[in-house]
Chain A
Amino acid sequence: MRISRKPAIILALSGLVTVMTAASSTGKPADEHFTNLQVLPKDIDKATMNKIMVGEFEDALGVSCRFCHAANKDGDGLDYASDAKPEKQIARRMLRMTLNLNRDYFKIDTPMVGTDNIVVTCNTCHKGDTFPDGDPAKN
């Protein structure tokens, strides 16, 4: 018995396309969508988000993610969308204050942390110190 090569190749290619489509639909999208954003732009991309979180917050305050982000309920990893920790609410208010300072006093139309389009940053006050609350300067 002889099988025609043409239908077999079409069938194989169809199968390959199906498998590739299924694989791509189960993976994470190229640009992760963040939820519960209240100060940062809702359409912010992952690279910009990481730059703000690491370059602005972590470096300027000397903290890690869990300083503001609550743990997942199952104890594994962090729930980045959760507002359970007051530190996250405080960070939002600090961020609003920083953006307002740049807009109101330095007349920057659309100030954005993590960019060069900003004068006052987290580091202006924090300088790597989590709690710059009037203690004598550290040598």
Chain B
Amino acid sequence: MKRILFLFISILCGPAAFGQYMPVDQGSVIQFTIQNFGFDVNGSFKGIRGTIDFDQQKPADAHFSVDIDAGTINTDNSLRDDHLRGASYFDVKDHPRIQLESIKIQAGDKAGSYLFLGKLTIKNTSRNIFFPFTATPTPDGYQFTGTFKIKRKDFGVGGTSTIADELQVSLNIIAKKS
């Protein structure tokens, strides 16, 4: 009887309860902004996949393991996109995916806000990153949003150029119950 009751409560709690979710491209935006010669240039990626274990009530148990397709880089300039796919930048031939994996998730100050400590891997180079994010329940999963800054040269992406070293990454990820 207790088992049935537990199962019933779990179903009632729906997607907000602990569960495994799958990030999807549709509705998700993975964007970056970087300065080139002093002007902001925006770009985006697609091809997100992976698994997200998340429970709003137990953020410490959460785990994110997602990656994106480096070859989908889109800066609204096909010539530049081809250049960025090349060996000196993302080298998508040998390193087709960019990975983000959590190490620790903590609750933030406000309801629905959390802190992400994880590892970002680009071109086989991993760096720890730390940033706040929000999780908003949706009918069939969650919407996760967060922004962080990184330095491209830390990952061996490009060398000396008119393009700035630091860039801002904005994530707006739609995850559905898997």
Contact = CB atoms under 8 A, between A and B. Distances in A.
A135 interface: yes
Interface residues of A, number: 14
Q: How large is the interface on B (under 10, 10 to 19, 20 to 34, 35 or more residues)?
A: 10 to 19
B37 A135 contact: no
B40 A86 contact: yes
Given A89-B39, A90-B36, A90-B37, A135 B88 contact: yes
A93 B37 contact: yes
B29 to A, nearest CB: 19
A94 interface: yes
Interface string A80-104: 0000011101100110000000000
10 contacts: A85-B77, A89-B39, A90-B162, A130-B79, A130-B80, A131-B161, A133-B88, A133-B158, A134-B160, A135-B88
Nearest to A97: B37
A94 B159 contact: no
Nearest to A130: B79
A63 interface: yes
Give 9 nearest A-B pairs by CB, closest first. A133-B161, A134-B160, A134-B159, A86-B39, A90-B37, A89-B39, A131-B83, A86-B41, A135-B88
A130 B80 CA distance: 8
A96 B39 CA distance: 15
A47 B160 CA distance: 36
A34 interface: no
A106 interface: no
B154 to A, nearest CB: 17
B76 interface: yes
B83 A134 contact: no
A67 B77 contact: yes
Contacts of B77: 67, 85, 87
